[in-house]
């Protein structure tokens, strides 16, 4: 998986590849073949991205100072796999999920895989989690019509980065925002398809 799906497509940071080699994806994904080059279904009608997209988002969110001790917020815990990758990289991870049952099973899986320091929060992640701000990186793993303002406000002013699919319910672009003081610099154009971000600053129910 690491060589054929991630490194061969141009993501070659050694710590990133090590983390993907180490985290047992089969603990987090039960349906289909966990290491296949495809998105797979999760309970509650949700989807986990193919490994390459998880790697692409993680790579885009890399804090300037590196991952060790970085404060990272994930919106959309789902299976817990992306959170495990961030924890393996050495980040202090908080992950918000709106479905309580997904959060609970992600908590069990993270514990089974040895990532028991990830903080899981149940609620509407379009509000972020102000108690843990500022964040060096914010990764939103569901697609919204625009970047929720609270998430921008919770980014570290000295180079905090946010990665999120932005677009319609059926088609989005992976958007990267880097904060420099009160300036928010946008980049990124990769087309992606994610499940919708449902909440006050996302899509409606
Ligand atoms: N990152 C996950 C996959 C996430 S799928 C993994 O590694 O497995 C997207 C998730 O976002 C779904 O679980 C969905 O329930 C959740 N979600 C959608 N809108 C949300 C919101 N406003 N707040 C928190 N979670 C949300």
Residue 65: its pLDDT value, please? 86
Q: How close is the Cα of 9 to the center of ligand 1, in Å? A: 26
Nearest 5°: CA angle at 24, between 61 and 97?
55
Question: How confident is the model over 7-35, as pLDDT tens digits?
Answer: 999 999 999 999 999 999 999 998 889 99
**Residue 205 confidence (pLDDT):** 76
- In this predicted structure, the answer to whether residue 48 has a pLDDT above a threshold of 90 is yes
The CA-to-CA distance between both ends of the chain, in Å, stands at 35
Average per-residue pLDDT for the chain: 97
Q: What's the pLDDT at 30?
A: 87
Active site residue 49: yes
Select from 142, 154, 193, 201 the residue to mutate for testing ligand 1; criterion: most ligand atoms less than 8 Å from CB: 142
- State in Å: Cα 103 to ligand 1 middle: 9
Q: Give residue ranges with CB within 6 A of ligand 1.
A: 46-48, 75-76, 78-79, 81-82, 96-99, 102, 124-126, 141-142, 195, 197-199, 202
Of 33, 49, 79, 146, which is the active-site residue? Answer: 49
For residue 74, report the distance from its CA to the centre of ligand 1, in Å.
Answer: 9
pLDDT value at 55 more than 90: yes
Residues 6+ positions from 33 with CB-CB distance below 8 Å: none
Give the pLDDT confidence score for residue 189 in this predicted structure: 84
Q: Is the pLDDT of residue 199 over 90?
A: yes
Domains and CATH numbers, the chain: 57-192 (3.40.50.150)
Question: Quick one: pLDDT at residue 182?
Answer: 96
C-beta of residue 97 within 8 angstroms of C-beta of residue 105: no
Question: Which of 73, 129, 120, 75 minimizes the C-alpha distance to 100?
Answer: 120
Q: Whose CA is nearest to atom 4 of ligand 1?
A: 78
184, pLDDT greater than 80: yes
Q: Whose CA is nearest to atom 2 of ligand 1?
A: 78
pLDDT given at position 173 = 97
> Which residue's CA is the nearest one to ligand 1's atom 11?
76
Judged against a pLDDT cut of 80, whether residue 145 lies above it is answered with: yes
- Cis amide leading into 197 (omega within 30): no
pLDDT score at 98: 98
Q: What percentage of residues in the chain have a pLDDT greater than 90?
A: 96
């Amino acid at each position: 998986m690491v060589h054929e799906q991630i490194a061969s497509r141009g993501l070659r940071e050694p710590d990133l590849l090590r983390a993907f080699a180490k985290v047992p994806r089969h603990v987090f994904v039960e349906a289909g073949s966990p290491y296949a080059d495809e998105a797979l279904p999760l309970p509650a009608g949700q989807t986990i991205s193919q490994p390459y997209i998880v790697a692409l988002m993680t790579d885009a969110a890399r804090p300037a100072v590196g991952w060790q001790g970085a404060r990272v917020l994930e919106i959309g815990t789902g299976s817990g796999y992306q959170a495990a990758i961030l924890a393996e990289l050495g980040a202090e991870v908080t992950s918000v999920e709106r479905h309580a049952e997904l959060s609970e099973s992600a908590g069990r899986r993270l514990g089974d895989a040895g990532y028991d320091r990830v903080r899981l929060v149940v609620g509407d992640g379009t509000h972020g989690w102000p108690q843990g701000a500022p964040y060096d990186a914010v990764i939103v793993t569901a697609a919204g019509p625009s970047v929720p303002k609270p998430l921008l406000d919770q980014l570290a002013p000295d180079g905090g980065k946010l990665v999120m699919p932005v677009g319609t319910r059926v088609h989005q672009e992976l958007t990267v925002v880097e904060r420099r003081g009160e300036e928010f610099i946008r980049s990124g154009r990769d087309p992606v398809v994610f499940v919708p971000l449902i909440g006050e600053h996302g899509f409606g129910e």
